[in-house]
A and B are shown apart, each in its own frame.
Chain A
Amino acid sequence: MASNALAAGSARTRASAALFRRPWLRATLLLSAPGAWFVLIYLAALVLLFVSALWSVESFTGKLEHTWTLENFETLVKVPAYRTVALRTIGIAAAVTVTDALLAVPFAFYAARVAPRRVSSFLFVAVLIPLWSSYLVRVFAWRLILAHDGILNWTLEEVGFGSVNIGYSNWAMWIVFSYIWLPFMILPVWAAIERVPSSYLEASADLGARGWRTFRSVLFPLIVPGIAAGAIFTFSLTLGDFITPTLVGGAGSQLIGNVVYQNVGVANNIPFAAAFAVVPVIVMGLFLLLARRLGAFEAL
C-alpha cells in the first residue's frame, strides 16, 4: 500500500516536474482555452463585422451579398441626416466630457487633499456604488425625474419658477450622460491629484502664489493626464450608447448607436450598420492618440 502511494506520488511528481521544466508547455496549456475563446469567437466576429461593412444587402430580398462595395460609406458621407447624427453624437460626447471634468476636479481635490481621512474613504465608496449599480436603472430614474409631471417640475413649481420642458430632449441626454459617467471621471482625477507631491504646492505658496495661481500653474498641468484618462471613458461610452437616447432623448436625439441598432434589429442591414459603427471606432482611435500625448495611459 505504501509503495502504491509512492508510485502514484512519483507519477504525479514526474508529470509536474516535466511541466516545470517546460515553461512553454505550461504557458501554452494555460493560454489555449482563453486564447481559443477570444480568437475563434471574439476576433473572428470583429473581423467579420468590419469586412461586412464592405458588403451590401439585396434591397428586394434583404439577403446579404458578398460583393465588395464602398456603397455603405458613400451613403454615410452623402446623406446629410447621417452626418448630422455623427456630429450630434460627437458633440454630446464632448459636452459630457467637459461637464464631467468641471464637476469632478473640485470634488476630487476636496476628497484627495482637504477632507479628513474618514470622510475621504466614505466618499470613495460613495463614488464606487453608483459606478457599479445598474446603468439602466439610473437612466430610468432620470426619465422619471425629468418627465413633465416628474419631481423636477414639481420642485420648480413649489419654489415658484414654473415648469420647464426638458424631458425627452438633447438637454436631458446631456444631463443623464453626465450623471451616468461622472464616477468614471472622478476616480482617475482623484488618483492624479493624490499623486501630486504636497511639496510642490507648498513651494508654490512659499513663492507667493495664491490658491488660484497655484491651481492654474502647478496643480492643473500635473492632473491633465488624469482628466484625459477620465475623458477616455466619458467619450467612448457616450459614442456607443443607444439606451439613454431611447429612454430620455426626443425626436431629434438619435445618436450613432440608435442608427446602428435600428439597422441591425429593424432594417436588417448589417453592412450599413457595420459601416456606421466604424465611425466611433475611428473617432476613439484619434481620441486615444490625443489622450496618449497628454499622458493618459500613465495615469490610468
Chain B
Amino acid sequence: MIGRGRATRIMLVVWAVLIMLFLFVPIAIIILYAFNPSNVQSWSLDGLSTKWFSSTWHNAEMRQALWLSVRAGLFSTAIAMALGSMAAFAVHRFRFFGREAVSFLLVLPIALPGIITGMALNSFISFNGVNFSLITIVIGHATFCIVTVYNNVLARLRRTQSSLVEASMDLGADGWQTFRFVTWPMIATALVAGGLLAFALSFDEIVVTTFTAGTQSTLPIWIFGNIRLGQQLPQVNVVVLFVILLSVIPVTLAQRLTRDTGVLRAGTPVAPAAPAATQAGAAA
C-alpha cells in the first residue's frame, strides 16, 4: 500500500524534516540576530550579547509605537469581542433572510487582499474629512478582528445543546439568569480564545494599518520603516524577538482553550471561507 514501502517511508520522513527546517530555520536565525553584538547585520555573528536590549527598551520612538500598538490591540479586541459574539448569537439562534450573507460579510475584510480593505478605509476616512488617529486605526483593526471572535463563539455554540437554554427558561430563569449561569460558562473560553487571536492579529497587522494610521507609527510600522531605511537595526532585531514571543503566546493559549472546536486550524487569519471551515470544525 502507498506509504508502506521502506524506501517511500524514508523519503517521506526526510521530506518532513526538510519542511520543518524550512519553516523554523528562518525563525531561529532571526532570534539569534537579537543577540548580535555588532552594528553590522552580516553572518556569521561575532558571539552573542544582550547589549542592545537596554537601549531598545529606552528608545522613545519604539516605546511610543509599542504603546500605540497595545492600545489599538486592546480597543479593537474589545469591539471585536462585543460585535463578534453578538453576530455569532444571532446567526446561531435565528433563521432569517440574509443569514448566509452575514458570515460572508464578516469574513470579507480578511478574504479580500488587505490592501483593498486598507485603501477602501483610507479613502473613506479622507472622504469624510476625519483626521487619522488612534480611532481610525481601531476602526480598521476591529473590522478584520470581528471574524476571529465570531468564528470561535459560533463554533462553540454549535457544539452546545440549545435544550440547555430551554430547560433553564422552563425552570423559571429569566433571560439574564440563563445567560449568566448557562450560556456564559459554555462560551467563555471560546470568547477569550477569540479575543486572544484578535489581539494577536491586531498587534501584528501592517497592511491595513499603513492606510489607516496616517503619520502615526504602530510597532509593525516602526519595524517596517526602520528595515526599509536600514536604521536602528540592532534595536529592530531585539523588538522582533519580543514580537515573535508576543504572537506565539496568545495563539498557544487560544489553542488550549479551543481544543474541542479545532477552530484555530480552520479559522486562519485569512480564511476566505472560514464560516464553512467552522462548520467542518464543529462537526468533527
Q: Which residues of B contact A179 (CB under 8 A)?
A: 22-23, 26
Q: In the complex the two chains form, what is the Cα distance from A44 to B16 in whole Å?
A: 46
Q: In the complex the two chains form, what is the Cα distance from A128 to B96 in whole Å?
A: 35
Counting CB contacts under 8 A, is B186 at the interface? no
Counting CB contacts under 8 A, is A126 at the interface? yes
Counting CB contacts under 8 A, is B143 at the interface? yes
Q: In the complex the two chains form, what is the Cα distance from A42 to B89 in whole Å?
A: 21
Question: Is the Cβ of A133 less than 8 Å from the Cβ of B247?
Answer: yes
- Contacting A at CB under 8 A, from B16-31, are 16, 19-20, 22-24, 26-27, 29-30
Question: Is the Cβ of B270 less than 8 Å from the Cβ of A242?
Answer: no
* Cβ contact of B210, chosen from A43, A147, A261, cutoff 8 A: A261
Q: In the complex the two chains form, what is the Cα distance from A147 to B280 in whole Å?
A: 43
Q: How far is the CB of B283 from chain A (nearest CB, A)?
A: 12
- Contacting B at CB under 8 A, from A123-172, are 123-138, 140-145, 147, 149-151, 154
Counting CB contacts under 8 A, is B48 at the interface? no
Question: Is the Cβ of A201 less than 8 Å from the Cβ of B42?
Answer: no
Counting CB contacts under 8 A, is B282 at the interface? no
Question: Is the Cβ of A34 less than 8 Å from the Cβ of B272?
Answer: no
**Contact A41 B139, CB 8 Å, known A31-B102, A135-B206:** yes
- Tally of chain B residues near chain A (CB < 8 A): 99
Q: How far is the CB of A244 from chain B (nearest CB, A)?
A: 11
Q: Which residues of B contact A49 (CB under 8 A)?
A: 116, 119-120, 123-124
Query: Considering residues A34, A151, A273, which has the most beta carbons from chain B within 10 angstroms of its beta carbon?
Result: A34
**Contact A19 B22, CB 8 Å, known A26-B93, A45-B121, A128-B265:** no
Q: How far is the CB of A145 from chain B (nearest CB, A)?
A: 6
**Contact A123 B16, CB 8 Å, known A144-B33, A233-B270:** yes
Counting CB contacts under 8 A, is A293 at the interface? no
CB nearest to B201 among chain A residues = A132
Counting CB contacts under 8 A, is A260 at the interface? yes
Q: Which residues of B contact A17 (CB under 8 A)?
A: 174
Counting CB contacts under 8 A, is A27 at the interface? yes
**Contact A114 B26, CB 8 Å, known A16-B174, A107-B19, A300-B276:** no
Q: Which residues of A contact B243 (CB under 8 A)?
A: 134, 136-137
Counting CB contacts under 8 A, is A251 at the interface? no
Q: In the complex the two chains form, what is the Cα distance from A280 to B274 in whole Å?
A: 20
**Contact A42 B175, CB 8 Å, known A129-B251, A270-B123:** no
Q: How far is the CB of A215 from chain B (nearest CB, A)?
A: 6
* Cβ contact of A211, chosen from B5, B26, B142, cutoff 8 A: B5
Q: Which residues of B contact A123 (CB under 8 A)?
A: 16, 20
Counting CB contacts under 8 A, is A237 at the interface? yes
Q: In the complex the two chains form, what is the Cα distance from A182 to B268 in whole Å?
A: 13
- B54-62, B156-164, B187-195, B223-231 - interface stretch: B223-231
**Contact A132 B251, CB 8 Å, known A30-B86, A42-B108:** yes
Question: Is the Cβ of A125 less than 8 Å from the Cβ of B255?
Answer: yes
Question: Is the Cβ of B113 less than 8 Å from the Cβ of A240?
Answer: yes
Q: In the complex the two chains form, what is the Cα distance from A237 to B182 in whole Å?
A: 40
- Contacting B at CB under 8 A, from A22-65, are 23-24, 26-27, 30-31, 33-34, 37-38, 41-46, 48-49, 52
Query: Considering residues B1, B41, B175, which has the most beta carbons from chain A within 10 angstroms of its beta carbon?
Result: B1
Question: Is the Cβ of B113 less than 8 Å from the Cβ of A241?
Answer: yes
Contact with A along B168-200 (1 / 0, CB 8 A): 010010111010000000000000000001001
Counting CB contacts under 8 A, is B257 at the interface? no
Q: How far is the CB of B86 from chain A (nearest CB, A)?
A: 5
**Contact A240 B29, CB 8 Å, known A31-B102, A123-B16:** no
Query: Considering residues A12, A31, A182, A274, which has the most beta carbons from chain B within 10 angstroms of its beta carbon?
Result: A31
Contact with B along A216-244 (1 / 0, CB 8 A): 00010000000001001100110111110
Counting CB contacts under 8 A, is A109 at the interface? yes
* Cβ contact of B3, chosen from A23, A132, A211, cutoff 8 A: A211
**Contact A44 B124, CB 8 Å, known A132-B200, A261-B210:** yes
Question: Is the Cβ of A24 less than 8 Å from the Cβ of B113?
Answer: no
Counting CB contacts under 8 A, is A15 at the interface? yes
Question: Is the Cβ of B1 less than 8 Å from the Cβ of A264?
Answer: no
Counting CB contacts under 8 A, is A202 at the interface? yes
CB nearest to A232 among chain B residues = B272
Q: In the complex the two chains form, what is the Cα distance from A126 to B21 in whole Å?
A: 11
A and B contact pairs by CB, cutoff 8 A, 29 listed: A19-B175, A30-B87, A31-B90, A38-B105, A41-B139, A42-B108, A42-B117, A46-B116, A49-B124, A103-B19, A129-B251, A130-B24, A130-B27, A131-B269, A135-B204, A144-B43, A151-B29, A151-B43, A182-B23, A204-B1, A211-B8, A233-B268, A236-B112, A247-B224, A273-B119, A274-B119, A284-B112, A300-B266, A300-B280
Among all A-B residue pairs, the 9 with the closest Cβ atoms = A240-B113, A16-B175, A45-B124, A149-B42, A30-B90, A141-B30, A45-B120, A141-B26, A49-B120
